[in-house]
Structure 1
């Protein structure tokens, strides 16, 4: 592998199972897939902080230096783990495109709930691996049925992917934190109508007198976004 290889090209090559230029001699005894599977197992059992090149090397019975022959560094290892950990894409059974989008986002949330360590991995590139592309393709299939054209559907799907991931991260980070009711209660001690007029107005509305559920709020936001898509398609507007 050349030192000048573009990082995106390097990721693409390893994500799709090409371990580099062919070499004469016996077949390598270790595969990238085995290394990645070992990394995923460590993350599942002990969290992402336990994953290191040294630890994964020990899991597969190789030296740390030999690991770099297969995977050039931890950052790329994490990217490969992220793609492998998504597993098979969901089968979306709902009939309407909107319902399939909601079904997809719920499946993504469930995946991140099972493997919260995935949210700790920074996405260096848009989806490029077979696992993430398969999930993205399922979402895009539903969005295309809305009537959006190709570029519009791609744009919306990328937004939904990013938003769903970020909401999952917020919910995961907040699992051990005060709930939204307590958050609003704490804010009410510092938010005044003079300094934060819009925030004060929203917090003073009747909606905050009832129990507020984060999942319901997320679903509300998604449905209003999809309402906008329907309106956009109905009036034939562009841009």
Structure 2
């Protein structure tokens, strides 16, 4: 069966665009345009990235930009891939050590560029950088006895965890409020205060105890490294259990 034609945005990511362009010879290249768009996002946020603003940044007419990028959605897809750093090197590390570093690095580059969290992550990775992250995670698990489908699911789960933790840290750091704009629910302490006023211990016995004990206030101090490491260890423990099961072992090996 013949291969399907690559979507244009994918072909551009991989330098495999074959369609000829008519008109004057291009005066810019795609990487320069993407770096300009990334610069705007870094300085002003993703909402400031428009075809017109990117065109102005590189000194061209907006319509001329469409010779390089087909739409804003395509621009964002290309930006998300090129803005990601290279994944950590494997360096012969055991899979658990590597995936811990891999997940932390994933979270960290999202913290460095929060606007990446606003770009939809619901589509599978298709760019050179994002696929290199996936490849390295699969390689780290290659000797575990897990199937390729299981390894892909593990990588997806860890990616989702990195994104959710980055979003949580950023939310706490900026004091983001609820959609209604009520400052009283900003931060864990404010959240705990609200819960203490609405929870009926009869209906929510354990949660009410947690609120009265100050557990949510303590969580505010945890929300960065402590919280991240705790959740990551839970995930890695689960992977270890799965690996051990594949080995036919009766005990979890650390």
Query: What TM-score range do you get, normalising by the shorter chain?
Result: 0.7 to 0.9
1:57 counterpart residue number = 55
Report the TM-score, using the length of structure 2 for normalisation: 0.80
Distance 2:215 2:52 in 1: 52
Uncovered stretches (5+) of structure 1, i.e. residues with no partner: none
The 3 A distance-change label for structure 1 pair 210 and 71 is closer
1:67 counterpart residue number = 65
Distance 2:217 2:55 in 1: 54
1:32 counterpart residue number = 30
- Cα offset, 1:74, TM superposition: 0.7
Q: Deviations over 1:197-230 (max 9, x none)?
A: 4533554568557564013122212211221222
Distance 1:125 1:209 in 2: 36
Of 114, 117, 121, the match for 2:115: 117
Distance 1:114 1:132 in 2: 17
Of 43, 46, 50, the match for 2:44: 46
- Cα offset, 1:46, TM superposition: 1.8
Distance 1:43 1:119 in 2: 12
1:13 counterpart residue number = 11
**Count of aligned pairs between the two proteins:** 233
Matched-pair contact (CA < 8 Å) for 1:86–1:132:
yes
Matched-pair contact (CA < 8 Å) for 2:87–2:102:
no
Matched-pair contact (CA < 8 Å) for 1:17–1:32:
no
- Cα offset, 1:185, TM superposition: 3.4
- Cα offset, 1:16, TM superposition: 1.2
2:234 counterpart residue number = 224
Of 169, 184, 199, the match for 1:191: 199
Matched-pair contact (CA < 8 Å) for 1:140–1:153:
yes
Whether 2:158 is the aligned partner of 1:160: answer yes
The 3 A distance-change label for structure 1 pair 97 and 77 is same
The 3 A distance-change label for structure 1 pair 172 and 210 is closer
CA RMSD of aligned residues (A): 2.8
- Cα offset, 1:73, TM superposition: 0.8
Distance 2:154 2:169 in 1: 22
1:142 counterpart residue number = 140
- Cα offset, 1:95, TM superposition: 2.9
Q: Deviations over 1:168-221 (max 9, x none)?
A: 122212312243344333322222223334533554568557564013122212
Of 185, 208, 214, the match for 2:223: 214
Larger relative CO (CA 8 A, sep 6+): 1 or 2? 1
- The range that moved more, 195-204 or 62-71, is 195-204
Matched-pair contact (CA < 8 Å) for 2:41–2:49:
yes
2:243 counterpart residue number = 233
